[in-house]
Amino acid sequence: MPQVSQALRALKAASTVAFNARALELQRQGVDVIAMTAGEPDFQPPAHVLQAAHDAIQRGMTKYTASEGTRELRLAIVDKHARENGLSYAIDEVIVSTGGKQVLYNAFMAMLDPGDEVIVPAPYWVSYPAQVQLAGGVTVPVPTTAADGFVPDPGAIAAAITPRTRAIVVNSPGNPTGAVWPAAVLRAIADLAERHDLWLITDELYEHLVYDGEFTAVAQWYPERTLLVHGASKSYALTGWRIGWGCGPAPLIKAMGTLQGHVTNNANAVAQHAARVALESVEETAAFLAMTRAAYRERRDVMVRGLNGLGLPAATPQGAFYVMADTRSIDADETVAAIALLERARVSVVPGTDFLAPGLVRFSYATSMANIETAIARIGAFLDA
């Protein structure tokens, strides 16, 4: 058989996917595994959003749309960011893609030339370095620590800037750490982007999942160099519907649209209509967000208390739905610890290796309270044994 390309041979599969597959395989064999691997809300989407998708099908909204998204959805996105974040975008500064993931991929492809560097504070979401690599770029990680709440030091970011730096990625609330970075830190990072003429990519998928502290809209300072990445997956529990969007300067959005026009064309038409309804039905959606946020907060507290009680130190994350726990008391190698948790406690997690988080594993608490309590009890029994 002919070989696959060098670029793809060099690309690693996401460890989140690999560990999820391992857990699913055990489940298939009849083993009762509690899955804490996936970054996916366990809630059903709001009922009125489901209804909107039914309506879209009935009304024949089943054709291709404009590649960059329907005008109606893009206007709803413009309104959302004006209403909630005080940002003002024109419609040609908005693109709708197949998940936030495609927005990011389009962006790296549109921003990077071969060898260009992208600064990404670590621990980071695994797809940033993979996408940067595919776009010919080089990821420059800037480590953060649990002791500092996984908040980057702007001085360390400044020190990582070279003549090849093209972009800085910001992700607050963040995956995998759940950290919410203070406004002053975000402002300092934005100022660095301005001073060095860099793109600033702000991944705001978890905007609505903040439990302590406050979300900060990074695009408020230098909108002309900032790409805001957002989507419907995490806020409205619409992961499988694949709606994400990017807001930024028109020439960048245009380049991303040109790429998308050749690769996938528009995001799913039915899902675009449903996402529009989610954004426009301000009160119903706010009630859904308040309900889910309260549930996640309660789960987070039980999770953090449980892990610390078991001697697996975990700082309290302020947002998203992940907790990073120190598993060195199980094994110095986090992959060995994650395998032990899966095979001996029947709780599936993701080792920090690919997030650049040695000694740590990620637990997702986007699962029921009953599952969380059972998981803590199982891990306790495993550690006692």
Ligand X SMILES: Cc1ncc(COP(=O)(O)O)c(C=O)c1O
Q: Between residues 39 and 319, which has the closer beta carbon with respect to ligand X? A: 39
Q: Between residues 231 and 319, which has the closer beta carbon with respect to ligand X? A: 231
Considering only residues 78, 110, 119, 205, which one is a binding residue for ligand X as defined by CB under 6 A?
Answer: 205
Residues 105-134 that bind ligand X (CB under 6 A): 125
Residues 228-267 that bind ligand X (CB under 6 A): 231, 233, 239, 244
Q: Between residues 177 and 327, which has the closer beta carbon with respect to ligand X? A: 177
Residue 226 makes contact with ligand X by CB under 6 A: no
Only segment of 60-68, 96-104, 154-162, 292-300 that touches ligand X (CB under 6 A): 96-104
The H or E element that residue 299 is part of is helix 282-309
Cα distances (Å, whole numbers) of residue 352 to 110, 336, 349: 29, 11, 9
Considering only residues 116, 203, 207, 354, which one is a binding residue for ligand X as defined by CB under 6 A?
Answer: 203
- Report which residue type is found at 33: V
Considering only residues 100, 129, 246, 257, which one is a binding residue for ligand X as defined by CB under 6 A?
Answer: 100
Residues 23-42 that bind ligand X (CB under 6 A): 39
First to last CA, the chain: 49
Which single residue is written with the structure tokens 């080089």?
Answer: 138
CA distance 16 to 39: 9
Closest residue to ligand X: CB criterion: 99
What residues have CB less than 8 Å from 86, skipping those under 6 apart?
217, 220
Given strand 94-97, what is the order of strands in its sheet? Answer: 94-97, 244-247, 226-231, 199-203, 165-171, 117-122, 138-143
Residue 173 makes contact with ligand X by CB under 6 A: no
Minimum CB–partner distance for residue 320 and ligand X (Å): 8
Q: How many residues bind ligand X (CB under 6 A)?
A: 13
**DSSP code string of 47-88:** HHHHHHHHHHHHTT--S---TT--HHHHHHHHHHHHHHH---
* Strand 244-247 relative to strand 226-231, pairing: antiparallel
Residue 30 per-residue DSSP state: T
Q: Between residues 41 and 306, which has the closer beta carbon with respect to ligand X? A: 41
Minimum CB–partner distance for residue 240 and ligand X (Å): 9
User: Which residue in 310, 326, 383, 316 sits closest to 358, CA to CA?
Assistant: 326
- Cis? peptide before 173, omega within 30° of 0: yes
Only segment of 63-71, 94-102, 147-155, 252-260 that touches ligand X (CB under 6 A): 94-102
Minimum CB–partner distance for residue 308 and ligand X (Å): 24
Considering only residues 69, 99, 248, 351, which one is a binding residue for ligand X as defined by CB under 6 A?
Answer: 99
Minimum CB–partner distance for residue 229 and ligand X (Å): 7
Which residues in this chain contact ligand X in the complex, by CB under 6 A?
A: 39, 99-101, 125, 171, 175, 203, 205, 231, 233, 239, 244
